[in-house]
Structure 1
Amino acid sequence: MQQADAPPIRATPAKRAKAIDRVDEICPAQLHSLSVVIPIHNEADNLWPLYRELNDALASLGCAYEIILVDDGSTDGSTAIIEELTRQDEHVRAIIFRRNYGQTAAMQAGMVHARMDMIVTMDGDLQNDPADIARMIEKMEEGYDLVHGWRRDRQDALVNRKIPSRIANWMISRATRFPIHDLGCTLKIMRRELVEEIDLYGDMHRFIPILLYQRGARCVEMPVNHRQRVAGVTKYGIGRTLVVLLDLMTVKFLLDYASHPMRVFGGLGLACFALSAFALLATIIMKLDGVDMTGNPLLLMSVVAGGAGLQLLSLGILGEVLARIYFSRGAKTHYGIRALLNFPPPHRGTDE
């Protein structure tokens, strides 16, 4: 097993032995503390190489950091390796799900439990290069709130990965008016206070830059290194394109009408009522002229359009009620956590 053959972890510098809460003492003023969130699902062969490479990249930054591995229901032994990593390195923290909930849920759980100033998200398949994190931090220093990667030289199959991705990115960019080349790149760095303002569900993790941009975040895209997968199998294929397009409709609605759904449903309802009134008026005029109304399509149109208008107005009212409930709801999760490893206990006197 990969865990048994892995050599002991090297001794770390003295500054890494300090408590992770004492950020100001170990972080140079120009750097930030980092939480690296990595969803893991059946990546046993990649975990040890990922840890060593990421650990070296983060240690060279000279700032406080934590690595949050979210085990999304792995069945290949990844869980045991993650547990071993948390025992050997205090910087590694783990969230163990009860079952597979998907990458978005894993991403949300990791970001909710992140404790540092800035959050980095990346895949666990070694295709994202940890060395890019330093360059992305430098880009953040220019005044941005989020830097998202662009796999300009993407090392994936052309037919079932690259072409569908390019089509989806073009459609998303046109629909949301957000300039983007590669929305599917998981490698991102963002400020934690902004991440706390959004909720992720379904497959919405790929829309994080758009959701934050809609809330006023300053976003920028930069080319990053993308490597071929050397172990494990990809969890995505051409079938995911349809899911992305369905999520795009959801995001488009959320961006434009989430706080006022009556504007779209009510507008469509009023249009249907206008069509119904026009058809009814035409029907009455034709009746007065002595035209036989038996099977008249305008009469049927009047009834159908009127019913559709009533239904759309009802949906608008329900949407307004649900929006109010959503914006006033308490903190809830759509995933189940079996265990939290290496996380410090809540501070006394708080509600955590």
Structure 2
Amino acid sequence: MGQTAALAAGIKQCGGELIVCLDADRQNDAADIPLLIDKLNEGYDVVSGWRKNRKDAWLNRRLPSQLANKLISWITGVPLHDYGCTLKLYRAKYLKSLRLYGEMHRFVPAFAGFLGARIAELPVNHRPRTRGTSKYGISRTFKVLLDLLTVKFMDAYMAKPIYLFGGGGFVISLLGVILAALTLYKKFFLGIFVKDQPLFQVSIFFGLIGFQLILLGLLAEILIRVYFDIKDKPSYFIRHSIGFDFDSEVK
């Protein structure tokens, strides 16, 4: 089922206040866990391991990873040196509020950051692989890019998709109106008939596409509201409360 499914299953079974994740291929060193806990106790919600001295091939493992980490950090606004390091420590309430699917395991720190988690990074040990074979490499770069688009959408437009689809539809429709006006100008002032220029057909095409995008945004708004209602899931996350009990709100 993949690493994301395994991680989601493990999180579901956890009952403590802290959750630590690490790979089963023995490249992560469990002896680093106390160091992660010490760092977390400095006031953080997530401590991410950083394989500073990584024991993998440079061309097909470390280089793609470095490029991906820079891109993910830039797009999500949650800067980390090593998103791919599974050895991470979380306060359980942040993981319990997430719904992981697909290949989203590598973006868990970003999701926690979207919820307002305070994130730190700590160099950890990394050992050569002794069990299994890696499924990662340059060939997965395209999938990471697609997943990253999904993550960015969920961060910026999950609660307001009309801003994306409706905004794009409005711009395209406006462009169609401008082209239609230009077509009429050419007809009445320059004597160029509509049949002799393609701008009129293009303006109609842009108008239809813009209208459809606006409708898509409205449908997305309805679906988002149905999603929050069915899941009984609040559209906010409370890190700490004073005088109120919001534990039931964190799902």
TM-score (norm 2): 0.89
- Separation in 2, partners of 1:247, 1:162: 20
1:312 aligns with 2:201: no
Gap change, CA 1:329 and 1:295, over 3 Å in 2: farther
Aligned to 1:227: 127
Instruction: Give 1:125's aligned residue.
Output: 25
Q: Say which of 156, 162, 169 aligns to 2:62.
A: 162
Q: Larger relative CO (CA 8 A, sep 6+): 1 or 2?
A: 2
- Contact 2:45/2:90, CA 8 A, preserved across alignment: yes
Query: Which aligned pairs between 1:38-77 and structure 2 lie closer than 5 A?
Result: none
Distance 2:159 2:104 in 1: 18
Task: Tell me if structure 2 keeps the 8 A contact 1:116–1:192.
Answer: yes
Identical columns (%) = 46
Q: Secondary structure at the match of 1:216?
A: coil
Alignment pair present for 1:294 and 2:208: no
Root mean square deviation, CA, Å? 1.3
User: 1:252–1:313: structure 2 CA closer, same or farther, 3 Å change rule?
Assistant: same
2:178 equivalent to 1:278: yes
Shift of 1:177: 1.8
Q: Tell me by how many angstroms 1:237 deviates.
A: 2.5
The 5 Å alignment of 1:244-259 reads 244-259=144-159
* Cα distance, 1:200 vs structure 2: 0.7
Specify the SS of the correspondent of 2:121: strand
Given that 2:64 and 2:137 are in contact with CA atoms closer than 8 Å, whether structure 1 keeps it comes out as: no
1:213 to 103, 113, 121: 113
Q: Distance in 1 between matches of 2:128 and 2:105?
A: 22
Q: Which residue identity is paired with 2:142?
A: L
Other structure's SS at 2:193 match: coil
User: Following the alignment from structure 2 to structure 1, what is the Cα–Cα distance between the partners of residues 227 and 63?
Assistant: 37
User: Aligned partners of 1:160 and 1:302: how far apart in 2?
Assistant: 47
How big is the shift at 1:180?
1.2
**Which residue in the other structure is 1:327 paired with?**
228
Deviation per residue, 1:180-219 (Å, 9 max, x gap)? 1111110111011121111111111111111011111111
How much has 1:295 moved relative to structure 2? 4.1
**Preserved CA contact (<8 Å) 1:165 1:241:** no
The residue number in structure 2 matching 1:260 is: 160
Separation of aligned partners in 1, 2:27 and 2:144: 21
Report the AA paired with residue 163 of structure 1.
L
In the other structure, the counterpart of 2:15 is 115
Q: Tell me, yes or no, if the aligned pair for 1:150 and 1:222 is still in contact at 8 Å.
A: yes
Equivalent-residue separation in structure 1 for 2:64 and 2:217 (angstroms):
34
Q: Secondary structure at the match of 2:130?
A: coil
Question: Which AA in structure 1 matches 2:161?
Answer: P
1:231 Cα deviation from its structure 2 partner: 2.7
- Give the Cα–Cα distance (whole angstroms) in 1 for the partners of residues 192 and 231 of structure 2: 61
Structure 2 Cα separation of the partners of residues 263 and 218 of structure 1: 28
For structure 2, the 5+ residue unaligned runs are 233-251
In proportion to residue count, which structure has more helix?
Answer: 2
Q: Deviations over 1:282-309 (max 9, x none)?
A: 1111111221222412112211110110
Alpha-carbon distance in 1 for matches of 2:218, 2:60? 42
**Structure-2 separation of matches of 1:183 and 1:315:** 33
**Cα offset for 1:323?**
1.3
Q: Is the 8 A contact 1:145 1:219 kept in 2?
A: yes
- Structural mapping, 1:194-209, within 5 Å: 194-209=94-109
Aligned match for 2:138, one of 235, 238, 245 = 238
Residue 266 of structure 1, CA deviation: 0.6
Q: How far 1:178 sits from its partner (Å)?
A: 1.6
- Asked if residue 145 in structure 1 is aligned to residue 45 in structure 2, the reply is yes
Shift in CA distance, 286/150, structure 1 to aligned 2, threshold 3 Å:
same
CA distance in 2, matches of 1:170, 1:218: 19
Structure index of larger Rg: 1
Q: Deviations over 1:34-84 (max 9, x none)?
A: xxxxxxxxxxxxxxxxxxxxxxxxxxxxxxxxxxxxxxxxxxxxxxxxxxx
Q: Match for residue 173 of structure 1?
A: 73
Structure 1 residues 194 and 284 mapped into 2: Cα distance closer, same or farther (>3 Å)? Answer: same
CA distance in 2, matches of 1:304, 1:319: 22
Mapped pair 1:103 → 2:3:
yes
- What TM-score do the two structures reach when normalised by structure 1? 0.64
| Aligned-partner residue type, residue 202 of structure 2 | M
